[in-house]
Amino acid sequence: AREAGREALLQLAAERIRGAGAPYTSVYMYMLHGGELVLEAYAGRETEHTRIPVGQGVCGTAVATGEDQNVPDVRAITNYIACNAWTRSELVVLIRRGGLILGQIDVDSDEPDPFMEEERAAVRKVADALAVLL
């Protein structure tokens, strides 16, 4: 039951962020399981990337470095893992409890360089709330 509650919470968070409209095209909720990120919920386009090793792509880099990632142009990233052909930018905000990384919120946009401090701060609020609730 706890697992179902967690998935429902992650799904709700993904839908709420995407529901804000542009620039949020798709929102993916990855949780950290050992050495890989596992997709547990999403809103928007489907992705075949349900498991991402730590260190790979923008998502894996966020965990490896312990830092949120804001990529204004994904085409400029050499290790970028494309969820789909339309994505132009990506924002990854870590979900952490103290120093422990639980997972991340991965936001894709079809617009180049749309994520300003306002968007990062809004997604950070959701990540901080999830860190308490999960």
List pLDDT tens digits, range 7-63.
Answer: 999 999 999 999 999 899 999 999 999 999 999 999 999 998 999 999 999 999 999
| 1 pLDDT above the threshold of 70 | no
Amino acid code (one letter) for 88: R
Distance in angstroms (rounded) separating the CA atoms of residues 133 and 127: 10
Q: Give the list of residues 6+ apart from residue 25 with CB closer than 8 angstroms, or none.
A: 18, 44, 45, 86, 87, 108, 109, 110
**Lowest mean per-residue pLDDT among 83-87, 122-126, 130-134:** 83-87
Number of other CB atoms surrounding residue 121 within 10 Å: 10
Express each pLDDT in 61-112 by its tens digit. Answer: 999 999 999 999 988 876 676 666 789 999 999 999 999 999 999 999 999 9
